[in-house]
Structures are given as structure tokens and as C-alpha cells.
A and B are shown apart, each in its own frame.
Chain A
Amino acid sequence: MRVKSLSKEKRSILILILIVAILTSLFLFLGLTGKNINYFFPRRLRKVLAVFLASYCVGYSSVSFQTITNNKILTPSIIGLDSLYLFLQTIIVFFFGNAGVSKLTGLPNYLLSIGLMVLCSFFLFFGMFKGNSKNLYFMVLAGTIFGGLFSGLASFMQVLMDPNEFSLVQGKMFASFNQMNTDLLSISIVIVAVIAFLARRDFSKLNALGLGQAQAISLGVPYRRTVFRTLMYIAILTAVSTALVGPITFLGILVVSIARNLVSTYRHEIRVPIAVLLGALALLGGLLFVERILHHSTQISVVINFIGGCYFIYLVLKEGKS
């Protein structure tokens, strides 16, 4: 039984790798000719890399967030991490203005945003987690309210803004794989690789956390430290993916639920890769659909949000019945 289920998990991963590989090569090579290869190929390659980075960020964050909250429907977007990011961007544009922003594009802005984001989440999580009676649900609730506060403040500032400045912010409000900075791509790869390496070491602890807080503590998992660390990884990854391609946490609920339906294992060594591969599949498929069939007439987030929304309704109906 055990051997059989293991091979089923491996088979699912292999099939997903195969599909993602096919989509990747379609995306890379479709319509390439000797003439345009020098123009298109590097651009497409960058997009594919960004897709994989974003998939990892979303896949890991969603799976681990559901484990630490012990909940099947929550995703990190509930604690308002991407609203926090947009809020910070709005503040930067609001206070530094058009002139300041020209100095603040690219790498400095990126590092500043990620730094601020990590700092803010650190205080948010730390403050929520320090008290005796406070628990994770308190933090999630507070995060939801803070998320609302951030997006409210952000839209307030956007109303007051100069329209030219607003268009700068607006560019960051939607997921896009078209306007990416190559400098950001390489540093993002480094950051994500480091986090992925660190996060990998906590997988066995996350597995035990699946049994619930009390049981995990009984098994010797340092609960607070592990949860806090995981939340920080999630904050950093959300910052990286949002800075790189815009808010894409909406992808989370989709990949994590399909991953659970594909293989019903508790092991993060399997669940995270499957969620990441599903994310890459959805993003590549969505990009191909938007670029080739809809001819850029809409945003990829619209396509994925539509599919994700339908799936979410299906999920709620199904959970309600059982």
C-alpha cells in the first residue's frame, strides 16, 4: 500500500513535469524563426524564468500557510501581504513623487520594497505572536484587518495623487510578465533559491504541524519558532513575486487545492513540488492563452482569476455538502 501510494505521487510529479516541459517549449519556440530568434528568445526565456520563480513563491507560500493555519481555504493573501506591498509602493510614489521615482526604479526600489515588507511583516507577526493568550487565528484576523487598512490607505493616496504618478502605481497593481526588469530577475533567483533551501529544511516540521498545534508540540516541534520562520519566508517570497510580476497570490487557492485533490499526502516534500508545478502549468497555460488566442486583449490575472473563482465556488459547495 505504502509503496503503491509512493509511486502514485511520483507518477503525478512526473506527469506534471512533462506537461510543464511541453508548455515551456511551446512558449519558448512557437513561431520562432532564424530572423526573430535573437529578439524573441531571450525575452521569452526571462518570462519563463519569472513564471517558475512566481510559481515557487505562490506554491510554497500557499501550502505552508494552510499547514500552519490548519485550514484548507486560507491563503497568504488573507493576511494582506500583497496589499501591504501595494501600500508601500503607493507611499514611495506619493512621497518621493515623479522625480524621486525615476531614481527609485529598478534595483534600489526593489530592495527597498522587499526590506520594508520584511520589516513590516516582522513587526506584524512578532507583535501578534508575542503575547501569551494570542494565537495564530488572532494574527490571521488582525492581518485581514490590516490588509483592508493598507488597501484603503493606498486607494486614498492614489486618489490624491497626480495622474502621472498614479499611472506609475497602476502599473504595479496587476500581474504582468511583460514589463520585467532583468536586473530584478537575477537577484530574485538568488533570494528565492536561498529561501527555498532554508524552507526545505523545515518540511519535516511542517509535516508534523499537520497534526495540529498541541500534537506537534508534543512531538517536539518548536511551534512558535517554526511558525514565525515560515511566516517570514512567506512574506519574503510574496514580496519577491509581487515585485517581479505583480500580485499573483490569487493563484494560491487554485494550486493548493488541486494539489490536494491530486495526491492526498501530508508530506510537504511532495505537496510543495506539486503545487509549484501546477502553478507553472497555470501561468504558462494562461500566458499562452492570453498571448496566442486572445492576442493580449486581457490580463493573465483575469483568466486565472476567472478559473480560480469558479474553482473556489465549486470548493465551497463541495465542502458544504460533506
Chain B
Amino acid sequence: MIKTRGLSKVYGNKKVVDDISITLPKNKLIAFVGSNGAGKSTLLSLIGRTLDRSSGDCYIDEKEVKDWNSRELAKRLSILSQTNHLNIRLTVHELVQFGRFPYSQGRLTKEDEKKVSEAISYMGMDALKDRYLDELSGGQRQMAYIAMLLAQDTEYVFLDEPLNNLDMKHSVQIMKILTKMVKELGKTVMVVIHDINFVSCYADYIIAMKDGEIVANGPSDEVMKPQMLEKVFGMEIKVEQFGGNNICLYYT
């Protein structure tokens, strides 16, 4: 279980994440929503320990993140950051192999190799496995990174805007895989998404942020209400039922 107490991040005198205390439910697809600069990615990075916090506590499975051995924690929690510019040339297979790093420190066992090929197959990337990442499209590259997370096989998976710059087909594909990771593999997936309708259709639980604070959190159906959304985004958003899903209309 993930729990934070008074978690804050301050840049200069601007509080980007302001005193957040929250307990995240397990085995759910949790979406962080909010406008640009609301602090979603920062909160995600603070919990995912890729960013140093200014103050507060953060517990993963009842243990303070700072007290975790970094290698052991990497077997429980993985995070995919937003920008993934690489200076090295890697094939898909080599990238996914890195997912096994916490287990074998680069010396892969037979078991590791099995997990790697399973992860690649799970993403349906067998045909692309020997291609270099810089030869792939943005969507395929994102799928390869998610395959790496799969190979890392952690209970908690954090993704910072995985749908950024992706076309509809890849976006849907990735959301379906994330749902499958929750339903089939029992993982807890936390994801920052800007497209509110993807959140509405796939997320089980929503955490809405504004100005570094949480303004709403709860099961999807409870948060996907016009008055809630207006509070979060500061604009009028209509919510209509369509094919069993709540769809937000905010274009005009």
C-alpha cells in the first residue's frame, strides 16, 4: 500500500506539491488528472522517488521510501518518466532486458530471459524485438518501454503521461494493456493522463489536483461529475452517458 503524509515539493518559494496526505487503493488503475502545472507529475515522481521531496513522508508497504534498499524497492515499484531521450542505441530486446536489472544486476539468468520474452510477447512486439529504438515510431517505442516495466514485474507501476504524442490506436492499445495489468496481473497502476475521456473510460480511481493540492479523489463515477470537473479544471464540462461510459464534452 502507498501512503503519503504531508508530502511537499517546493521550488524557490513556489509550492508545486503542497502538503499531500493520501492513501492510494491497491489493485486499481489510478489516474492523476488536473491542468498543466497542477503538480500531478511532480507528485508521481516524488512517490516514485525519482525526485527528492522537500518535506513529508512517503510509505511503500508500511516502510518509508528512504529506508528501502534501492534494489529491493525496484522490485516493488517502477516508474516510467515522461521524456525518454536516449544517447545510446538499444534494441527493443536490450531495453526490455534492463527491466530485469533489479534482479540480476545485468547478468541475466535463464529465468530473467524467460520474463523478458514473456514481456515482449505480452506487448505483441515479437516481430520488432531486434529493431533499434530509434528506428521505431513513438507509439512502438512507448510500448517497448512498457514492456520493460512488465519485465521489471513490480506490484506498483507509475507512468507519467504514457499517451503523450500518441495516436488514437496506440493510446487505446496502451490503456487496454494497463487495464489488463491491473485485472490479470494484480498490479496497481498509477498514471498521469491529460485526455479526460481516457481517464473516464479506463480508470477505476481518480485523483484530481489543482495548484499542488488534491481537490477530489474517489472512484471514477464519483469524480466524473460536471461540478467536480469544473472545480478541477476551472471550465464548464458537460458529462454525457455514451455506450455505458461517461464522456466529457468540453470542446465548444
Q: List A residues at the B interface (Cβ < 8 Å).
A: 1-2, 66, 70-72, 132-133, 203-205, 207-208, 210-215, 217-222, 264-266
Contact = CB atoms under 8 A, between A and B. Distances in A.
A211 B96 CA distance: 12
B70 A266 contact: no
B81 A215 contact: yes
A8 to B, nearest CB: 13
B89 A220 contact: no
Nearest to A221: B70
Given A71-B87, A132-B54, A219-B102, A212 B81 contact: yes
Given A207-B106, A215-B81, A222-B70, A2 B93 contact: yes
Given A205-B105, A207-B98, A221-B101, 14 more contacts: A132-B54, A133-B11, A208-B98, A210-B88, A211-B84, A213-B50, A215-B80, A215-B84, A218-B81, A220-B75, A220-B102, A264-B88, A265-B89, A266-B89
Interface residues of B, number: 39
B85 to A, nearest CB: 7
A5 to B, nearest CB: 9
B181 interface: no
A211 B107 CA distance: 17
Given A1-B91, A70-B87, A217 B50 contact: yes
B74 A220 contact: yes
B48 interface: yes
Interface of B: 11, 45, 48-50, 52, 54, 70-75, 77-81, 83-91, 93-95, 98-99, 101-102, 105-107, 130, 152
A298 to B, nearest CB: 35
Given A204-B107, A218-B79, A219-B152, A132 B70 contact: no
A50 B148 CA distance: 43
Contacts, number: 83
B58 to A, nearest CB: 14
A288 to B, nearest CB: 34
9 contacts: A2-B91, A215-B84, A218-B50, A218-B78, A218-B79, A220-B72, A220-B102, A265-B89, A266-B88
A208 B106 contact: yes
Nearest to B49: A217
A209 to B, nearest CB: 10
Contacts of A1: 91, 130
A266 B90 contact: yes
B71 A220 contact: yes
Nearest to A204: B106
Nearest to A206: B106
A214 B102 contact: no
Contacts of A212: 81, 83-86
A211 B102 contact: no
A133 B49 CA distance: 14
Contacts of B86: 210-212
A208 B88 CA distance: 11
Contacts of B54: 132
A66 B81 CA distance: 21
Contacts of B45: 214
Contacts of A204: 101, 105-107
Contacts of B83: 212
Which has the most chain A C-beta neighbours within 10 Å: B45, B50, B85?
B50
A210 B90 CA distance: 10
